Amino acid sequence: MNAPRRAPLLAPSFLAADLANLQAETERLATSAADWLHFDVMDGRFVPNISFGLPVLQAVAKYAKQPLDVHLMIEEPQHYLSAFRDAGAANITVHYEACPHLHRVVQQIKQLGCRAGVALNPHTPVALLEDIAADLDVVLVMSVNPGFGGQAFIPNTLKKVAMLKELLLDAGSDALIEIDGGVSLANAGPLVEAGADVLVAGNFVFSAPAGPVATLAALRDHLQALDASAAEGFDGSRKQ
């Protein structure tokens, strides 16, 4: 079973932004090619690092023009869902590995009016989502080990995305597949080809010499060119 390919969404990750100037970073992304703004929350328990919390999300939300995509890398996320919604989250993603009562947590998120997402660590099989796939709005595939930015992309992610795409289609789920970690021009095309719908990019965007706005535009152009090339090839194969 195949489904029409959706235009991929781009979600720059604030973990790699200039943390001393988050208002300026948010404002300059307002008219960029960014579709979502990705916001990583780490508690030092689920992952060995501590990052943003509620006050920072509230501050960013005042200036954000794009939906805030909040990725909770925390233990017991069910206790904080309404607070993150109130702080400005449009999407809330929790980790499969942190939620023994995952269905209940997903329903909590949806009842708050947010998109409900579930993230999978690199070692977690996509098959574990089979019984909940139809309830999800987003599945986030970690293409690095969670906790730190700047890590190298794990190549097996491409196989995992393709398997996840098949699982979602079989379940009748319209969930978006989001990729987080090591995304760049080198792997963006293959990820989208495998089934990815949302690309989170941190260091690639914010550390680029051209700056985040130009880099996001280049990534968008790159993906559109690949899509156009694929369409031409498909048309050509039909004419032969």
Q: Is the pLDDT of residue 149 over 90?
A: no
| pTM: predicted TM-score of the whole model, two decimal places | 0.94
Say what the pLDDT of residue 227 is: 83
**Distance separating alpha carbons of residues 115 and 10, to the nearest angstrom:** 16
Q: pLDDT class for 147, splitting at 50, 70, 90?
A: confident
**Distance separating alpha carbons of residues 116 and 139, to the nearest angstrom:** 9
Active-site annotation holds for 180: yes
Catalytic residue selected from 35, 43, 135, 180: 180
**Distance separating alpha carbons of residues 56 and 39, to the nearest angstrom:** 10
Q: Is the pLDDT of residue 4 over 90?
A: no
Per-residue pLDDT, averaged over 3-20, amounts to 90
Catalytic residue selected from 40, 69, 135, 137: 40
Q: pLDDT class for 240, splitting at 50, 70, 90?
A: very low
**Measured CA distances, 12 to 97, 160, 206 (Å):** 24, 22, 8
Spatial CA neighbour of 117 closest among 137, 135, 146, 144: 137
**Distance separating alpha carbons of residues 138 and 71, to the nearest angstrom:** 11
Handedness of CA 190, 192, 194, 197 (dihedral sign): positive
Per-residue pLDDT, averaged over 144-162, amounts to 90
The distance from CA 73 to its chain's CA centroid, rounded to whole angstroms, is 13
